[in-house]
Amino acid sequence: MLSYWEQQSFSHYNHVIIGSGITGLSHAVELKDRFPDWRILVLERGLLPTGASTKNAGFACMGSATEILDDLETMTETEVLTLFAARKSGLQKLRERLGDDAIRYKAEGSFELIGNQELYAIERLDYLNDLLSPVVGGPAFSVDSTSMQQFGFGGSYAAAMIENLCEGSIDTGFMMRALIGMAQSKGVEIRTGAAVSRFEERASGVDVLVKSALIGDDLKLTCEHLSICTNAYTKALLPDEDIVPGRGQVLVTEPVEGLRFKGVFHFDKGYYYFREIDGRVLLGGGRNLDFGGEQTTDMSLSELIQADLEQKLREVILQGCRYKISQRWSGVMAFGETKQPIVKAVSERIFGAFRLGGMGVAMGSNVAADLAELVAERA
């Protein structure tokens, strides 16, 4: 049970946000800017954001050439262009909010390794550049005919390389620290280790029930409005939403002596991605080997995919180099029938923003702002 003091000071808020990833914290900042007198509470079930905000590969998430061409198989040109524009403007909003130095952002572009079966992409670069030019203001992609051998790639996979001029790298640990600091400086309260078991909407507000081992029963918090920003974990609270989790597995090496490349790289329609960081190689992806098995919120690792990542590291990325793997981890993204994020009023007092399609770094800031607009309309 709560004391009188706890009940008076810690149980009622104007707005509660579930989820402290990039979307949840950005949403809190957006609401505080609109309603500076509101008491806003962010609840996070883990000690750190649990899903993908700090477990990704640190890319700007603008999309590779083969990934965008693959999207065009199931989406219209207008839908693809709109999504690309949303990525670009969302990334710009994040950079302007926190500053490039604070998030270690480097607008250095990226490269995509092209296998023999993907050489069609080179023939379609002019088409892609024409399609994206209204957003980019110039060419987004070009063929790089000189760097592949310099970087040490090739072997049985890489036949060519495409440069993506729109991509960049980011340190998502620094990004989340900066976002947490900004939210707290504006008066947003953040509680970690606070797993929400359920919520109940009433005529005058929302009761949010948080698991509490100490008091035995769920701790009840009350708020006027509730936002759910839990991305891949949303089905636990909103079971009818179109959310399919997608686990992304990552490994990173010890520093590699004589490493020949820097920057950000993709291959195989964006399903694989790697980069240099602190003289190490970070490599992730491979969920396309087992879509069914990777549709999970389980944060453990798959032997199949980890073995595949090691093979790609050995045969494609670090041919002839000695290396040692230092860390492995996984994060969970959210997908659905389309690549468009879900931003909606679930009911009169409950709102949600989720299903960012593995593009949270680029999309999270704008999605959070759109959700804040919805809340403001009802407040």
Q: Can you tell me whether residue 155 is helix, strand or coil?
A: coil
Q: What is the pLDDT of residues 22-38, one digit of tens each?
A: 999 999 999 999 999 99
Task: Give the CATH number, domain containing residue 331.
Answer: 3.30.9.10
Q: Indicate whether 7 pLDDT > 90.
A: no
* Number of domains the chain is built from: 3
Q: What is the pLDDT of residues 261-315, one digit of tens each?
A: 999 999 999 999 999 999 999 999 999 999 999 999 999 999 999 999 999 999 9
Residue 22 lies in a domain: yes
Residue 66 lies in a domain: no
Together in a domain, 349 and 234: yes
Q: Taking Cα atoms as reference points, which of 252, 248, 246 lies closest to residue 310?
A: 252
CA-to-CA distance for 152 and 142, rounded, in angstroms?
20
Together in a domain, 229 and 356: yes
Together in a domain, 277 and 287: yes
Mean pLDDT of 120-139: 96
Q: Read off the pLDDT band of 9 (50, 70, 90).
A: confident
Together in a domain, 342 and 238: yes
Q: Domain of 128? A: 75-168
Together in a domain, 81 and 162: yes
Residue 343 lies in a domain: yes
Q: Taking Cα atoms as reference points, which of 12, 42, 38 lies closest to residue 27?
A: 42
Residue 255 DSSP symbol: P
Together in a domain, 214 and 151: no
CA dihedral 160, 162, 167, 170 (to 10 degrees): 20
Q: Can you tell me whether residue 261 is helix, strand or coil?
A: coil
Residue 35 lies in a domain: yes
Mean pLDDT (the chain, rounded): 94
